[in-house]
Amino acid sequence: MDLRYDTVFLDADDTLFDYPRAEERAFSRTCARFGLADTPGLRDSYRRINREQWRLLERGETDPATLRIERFRLLFEETGDRLDPAAVGDVYVEELSLGADLLPGAREICEYLVKRYLLVIVTNGLADVQRSRLARSGLGELVADLVISEEAGASKPDPRIFEYACGRIGRIDRGRMIMVGDSLESDIRGGAAFGIHTCWFNPRGNENSTDLKPTYEIRTLEELGRIL
């Protein structure tokens, strides 16, 4: 246990949750419900458009309600499918909210951390999706709070999401906080902007080509238990 810290902020997707698996399943089921051919090309187009929309959201250039619809409007604009993007978006969100698969070691590290620190998930996401997934995963009983960008009115790396989180949990000493996540641009940059220590979860061993210097870097969640 590292006595420097009393609060651990954890990212959700691709840190605790297997997001690609949830996304793949949700997309496949949504296609089936609307009679769309679930092809690799269609999936690739959706992923590209979805990434672009989330980048806009993180820069404050769109909002969650628009993102839900716009990613499918742009997709159908490319494919020529005559479907209602709002209706498809609603079904996709419904299906995605069922995807509660955890990454290896996620539950174990949360069980370890909750005995030693105040554990808070801070995630860029849609509130109905993330709350459903947390409840289904069983992690809801282990964390003190779930802070979601849609409810906070700010997305990582905007430090205001951490200010919102601190207001909810009643903690103010930034020197005793650490942010753990897989994304350099949202998790690590956001934590650094807020003035707290950071831990980059880098399971694929990706090169850090940014100007960011995480306090720690780990390849497995098990390693986090040796740091904290």
In this prediction, residues 140-162 reach a mean pLDDT of 96
From 11, 13, 182, 187, active-site residue? 11
Question: Residue 111: phi, psi to the nearest 5?
Answer: -65, -35
CA distance 192 to 199: 10
What is the pLDDT, as a whole number, of residue 12?
Answer: 98
Return the sign of the alpha-carbon dihedral for residues 107, 109, 115, 121.
negative
Residues with Cβ within 8 Å of residue 88, at least 6 apart in sequence: 30, 34, 72, 76
Closest CA to 38 of 49, 55, 23, 54: 23
> Where does CATH 1.10.150.240 sit in the chain?
20-96
With beta carbons less than 8 A apart as the criterion, state whether 57 and 63 touch. Answer: yes
Question: Class assignment of domain 7-17+102-227?
Answer: alpha beta
Global pTM value? 0.93
Label residue 207 by pLDDT band (50, 70, 90).
very high
Q: Does residue 11 carry a catalytic annotation?
A: yes
Residue 131 has pLDDT above 70, yes or no: yes
pLDDT reported for residue 3: 75
**Quick one: what percent of the chain has pLDDT higher than 70?**
99
pLDDT over threshold 70, residue 206: yes
**Confidence tier at 58 by pLDDT (50, 70, 90):** confident
Q: Which CATH architecture has domain 20-96?
A: Orthogonal Bundle (1.10)
